[in-house]
Amino acid sequence: MTGRVEGIYISPEKGRLPEPVESVRALAGRGLEGNRYFFDGDAPAGQALTLIAAEAVEAMEQEDGISLEPRETRRNVVTRGIDVNELVGKRFRVGQVECLGVELCEPCTTLQGMTKPGVIKGLTHRGGLNADILSDGEISVGDAVVADA
């Protein structure tokens, strides 16, 4: 199972729409440098990195008529070509950064309040993945996303 990083988004403060970046430094147990969820110590399980498939965002528009920019999903990494739901409980790599899929990142009322009505329904079971970062490294647009065998 292989995909690619299509976009990277970070936000230094709560409530602010994440900004696109070409690359970002990922630190094991801490998160993405410059992101508001970058922790001084160990990040709580599944809060270091979030991913969402571009195909899920596109499907929501096609099936539910709800159009969002990928960054509006508030996920850090937008992928293409890999089913992020299949990464729950598995190790995978984003570029050279080793990660562990912790749980699905289901949409919530906060996300819907910041975007559009219907987002909860539109992203249920396809809202992305919460993951831990297990090794330091750089994540860049175009990097491979590969599930470990």
Q: Say if residues 64 and 90 touch (Cβ distance below 8 Å).
A: no
CATH fold of 2-147, please? M1 Pyruvate Kinase; Domain 3 (2.40.33)
pLDDT tens digits for range 82-95: 999 999 999 999 99
Q: For the chain, which residues make up each domain, given as ranges?
A: 2-147
Nearest partner of 116 among 104, 107, 125, 103, judged by Cα:
107
Q: Say if residues 119 and 107 touch (Cβ distance below 8 Å).
A: yes
| pTM over 0.75, yes/no | yes
Amino acid at 109: T
Residue 134: its pLDDT value, please? 97
Per-residue pLDDT of the chain (149 residues; tens, 9 = 90+): 899 999 999 998 878 899 999 999 999 999 999 998 887 777 888 889 999 999 999 999 999 899 999 999 999 999 999 999 999 999 999 999 999 999 999 998 888 888 889 899 989 999 999 999 999 999 999 999 999 97
